[in-house]
Amino acid sequence: MDDFSQVRKEAARILSKKKVDLVIGFKKGTIPLKAQPAFISSPDDVEQLILDGFCQNNLAVFLHDEPKDKRIGLICRACESRAVRALAIEHQLKRENLYLIGVPCSGILDWKKIHNAADGQITSAVEEGDQIILQVGGKKQTLKRNEFIVDSCRKCTRREPVGVDILIGEVQPNEIGTDDLTPTWGDKFAKKSSNVRYKLFTEETDRCIRCYACREACPMCYCTECFVDHIAPRWSESMVTPGGTQAWHIIRAFHQTGRCVECGACERACPMDIKMVYLTDKLNDDMKEIYGFEVGADEEKQPPFATITLDDKNRFTT
Amino acid sequence: MTPKIIKKNALQKTIKKWLKSYDLIAPAASKEGIRFKRITDPKEIVLDRYQNSIYPPKSIFLPQSEVMFNFENGSYTMPEDAPRKRIIFGMRPCDARSIWLLDTVFNKAEDLDIYWGEKREKALIISIGCAAICETGFCDTVGSGPFGEEGSDILITELDDAYFLKPLTSAGEKLISSLPTANDAQSKRARAIQKGSIVKDHTPADLGKIRDRLYDAFDTPIWKDISESCLGCGVCTYLCPTCFCFDIVDEVDRSERVRNWDTCMFRIYSQEASGHNPRPSKAERTRQRIMHKFAYWVDNEGVSGCTGCGRCVAQCPVNLDIREMVTTITSLKIQ
């Protein structure tokens, strides 16, 4: 972001005026290509706050552990703001206790791809406009930012934060390089026959180590007992076998149907580089097509699978 | 023990010879980067000096999921497939050290874990040192180093046109006894490379002092502050080459008793049947992880449980850096 000082100023204001007791944002990471979530409770500390392409988490996830009556400021990109809306609709937080500072986003960078593109060990990485400037073994290496944006951000069409208390910065309609039309993994997947799709799915899940980083990074996964941890009945085994692991991925995707805010935090959290966004993208597309529902688009509408009305069509029997 | 040489253009031939009597496990390309796999074609081996595998090679001796036995009508049968002799080729010293550390848990004669022991006694570990410490590595500050020797039967130093092999055990010596002996120039070059690998601004951490200060901080609220961004996933523990906690379950449908990796970072790890949880929040669980690595290991075995491989630092989804956490708590540096 070009002028993040305005955001820091606003964070300091709401803290010193005691509108909130905590501001959640990002701060510089300990190594290149990384950022850490920041929990700021004093206006003196707002200078730590940053926002760049290495801020790979969805900050709304940290609202799970906070008490609902705590007043919290959150620095929100579009996907974070959608998550807050979705969590509010599901009664997981009290919107009136939050102060959302909306900010534009130029897309999150794929740090592993940058790492692999570097000619050696990276000692520093900085974004400058449409470039990424690396220092590699004392030498400068420049990369095109456009080529290193994660798939979920490349496909993003809802870049304006929703339901925020203040928007700082201008959301450019084509801020992210949509001129990069190379198909994403998910695009290629969708074009294949069902046999090939199953093979690709099994190949992806084959290296899953059941660390549940995807689940823990997801703002919409907040169950106090996840189905995989349920013993009786045993929904999914904890062994790293194809059966158990595939069940894990499929059922988590189904539990996200119409709820996933398409932030991609799951894929970015995965240490084994497993694709999974393509599953929830498809289910969300179905929700839009069949029920006209899009998560985060409305402040009050319940996700179709969370609610029942008398005029629901019973598609399974008619 | 006499150091030996394999010319780089003779490596494949040498490995093919070994393949006649051993299964070979080595780092190979995989979708997530590098992974230790069973190799039948030496061309697949990747010895990229800047990257270690993401998934740790402890899985070779402690598989993430392992069938302990099958049961039926009150009796049980042990798994049938006994592992062949194996060479683990291309491990890094941090990982070889992790096997050495885990041997103190699983391989002590008076307390032998038969599943670990059977695989371990049939394995030779040939590790390759690192000419430069990797980006997130800090092996040299936790009692090891890029040419650390613990856990290896043979340690390789990569020269310009050859591999310099230092046998460290009699099993290692026997394996390479027929190879050409290294000459003085090669030995000198190897020593220079090993010396040059030490990073100048790293200093060995004072592990005893760190342990003491961690204990001092045990009941303070600092653990809550440093664990605030922790997601509570299992990335750090599963990728850690020395984490060894496991959970035993009965897969009744298949009549199998299975051992799976477990992680103290999950809430349910210490959840008791009554519903009580002695580690109810991330603060207690993070404290447990750090204390185990840097205090209890030091108490029990006199060495750090952390080998400085850096996987947790590189892969933590929220960039929680164990070095930073230890320094925040103890005010002592651990690079």
B235:A271 CB<8 A: yes
Q: Tell which B residues from 119 to 138 touch A, by Cβ distance under 8 Å.
A: 132, 134-136
pLDDT at B185 over 90: yes
Final residue belonging to a domain, choices B149, B172, B196: B196
pLDDT at B139 over 90: yes
B227 & B185 share domain = no
Give me the pLDDT at residue A315, please. 61
What confidence tens digit (pLDDT) does each residue in A63-103 have? Answer: 999 999 999 999 999 999 999 999 999 999 999 999 999 99
Give me the pLDDT at residue A156, please. 86
Q: Does A271 touch chain B (CB under 8 A)?
A: yes
Give me the pLDDT at residue A307, please. 82
What confidence tens digit (pLDDT) does each residue in A29-60 have? Answer: 999 999 999 999 999 999 999 999 999 999 99
Q: Does A34 touch chain B (CB under 8 A)?
A: yes
B267 & B244 share domain = yes
B121 & B223 share domain = no
Give me the pLDDT at residue A304, please. 86
Give me the pLDDT at residue A314, please. 65
Residue B112 sits in which domain range?
Answer: 4-196
Q: Does B58 touch chain A (CB under 8 A)?
A: no
Q: What's the token pair of residue A286?
A: 């179905």
> Are B94 and B52 within 8 A, CB to CB?
yes
* Residue B210 to residue B256: CA distance in whole angstroms: 43
Inter-CA distances, A65 with A60, A90, A226, B272, Å: 10, 15, 16, 21
Give me the pLDDT at residue A128, please. 94
Give me the pLDDT at residue A3, please. 76
Q: Does A65 touch chain B (CB under 8 A)?
A: yes
Pairing relationship of beta strands B33-39 and B23-30 according to DSSP bridges: antiparallel
What confidence tens digit (pLDDT) does each residue in A239-256 have? Answer: 999 999 999 999 999 999
B165 & B20 share domain = yes
Give me the pLDDT at residue B83, please. 73
Give me the pLDDT at residue B17, please. 96
What confidence tens digit (pLDDT) does each residue in A158-207 have? Answer: 889 999 999 999 887 755 555 566 788 998 999 999 999 999 999 999 99
Size of the A and B interface in Cβ pairs below 8 Å: 102
Which of B55, B59, B133, B135 to mutate against chain A (most A CBs within 10 Å)?
Answer: B135
Q: Does B276 touch chain A (CB under 8 A)?
A: no
Give me the pLDDT at residue A172, please. 73
* Residue B306 to residue B82: CA distance in whole angstroms: 31
Give me the pLDDT at residue A236, please. 85
* Residue A242 to residue A236: CA distance in whole angstroms: 11
Q: What residues contact B291, with CB distance under 8 A and at least 6 apart?
A: B214, B215, B218
Q: What's the token pair of residue B185?
A: 């120039």
B234 & B190 share domain = no
A-chain CB neighbours of B234 within 8 Å are 209-213
Task: Identify which of B167, B159, B158, B162 has the alpha carbon closest to the alpha carbon of residue B126.
Answer: B167
Query: What percent of chain A is helix, strand and coil (3-state, nearest 5)?
Result: 35, 15, 50
B31:A273 CB<8 A: yes
H/E/C letters for each residue in A209-238? Answer: CCCCHHHHHCCCCCCCCCHHHCCCCCCCCC
Helix (H) or strand (E) run with residue B257 in it? strand B256-261
What confidence tens digit (pLDDT) does each residue in B191-250 have? Answer: 999 999 988 778 899 999 999 999 999 999 999 999 999 999 999 999 999 999 999 999
Helix (H) or strand (E) run with residue A191 in it? none
Give me the pLDDT at residue A235, please. 85
Give me the pLDDT at residue A83, please. 97
Final residue belonging to a domain, choices B165, B196, B227: B196
B84 & B150 share domain = yes
Task: Identify which of A74, A65, A131, A125 has the alpha carbon closest to the alpha carbon of residue A97.
Answer: A74
B40 & B114 share domain = yes
Which of A108, A211, A274 to mutate against chain B (most B CBs within 10 Å)?
Answer: A211
| Residue with token string 């190897």 | B190
B62 & B189 share domain = yes
Give me the pLDDT at residue A174, please. 55
Give me the pLDDT at residue A137, please. 86
Domain boundaries of chain A, sorted by first residue:
4-110+149-305, 111-148
Domain assignment present for residue B134? The answer is yes
Final residue belonging to a domain, choices B139, B161, B196: B196
Domain assignment present for residue B19? The answer is yes
**A286: Cα separation from own chain's centroid:** 20
The residue type at B36: F
- Whole-prediction pTM: 0.95
pLDDT at B82 over 90: no
Provide the shortest C-alpha distance from residue B183 to chain A (in Å): 31
Q: What residues contact B44, with CB distance under 8 A and at least 6 apart?
A: B26, B28, B29, B37
SS3 at position A76: strand
B136 & B283 share domain = no
* Average model confidence (pLDDT) across chain A: 92
User: What total of structural domains would you count in chain B?
Assistant: 2
Give me the pLDDT at residue A108, please. 96
A132-136: long-range contacts, CB 8 A cutoff, minimum separation 24? A132/A53, A134/A32
Domain assignment present for residue B335? The answer is no
A57:B318 CB<8 A: yes
The residue type at B84: R
> Are A237 and A230 within 8 A, CB to CB?
no
Give me the pLDDT at residue B312, please. 97
Q: State the pLDDT confidence band at A309, using cuts at 50, 70 and 90.
A: confident
Spatial strand order in the sheet of B23-30: B4-7, B162-167, B154-158, B123-128, B86-91, B23-30, B33-39
Q: Which of the 8 DSSP states describes residue B47? A: -
B247 & B131 share domain = no
A-chain CB neighbours of B35 within 8 Å are 207
* Residue A23 to residue A99: CA distance in whole angstroms: 9
Q: What ipTM does this complex have? A: 0.95
Give me the pLDDT at residue A178, please. 55
B228 & B79 share domain = no
B51 & B186 share domain = yes
B323:A238 CB<8 A: no
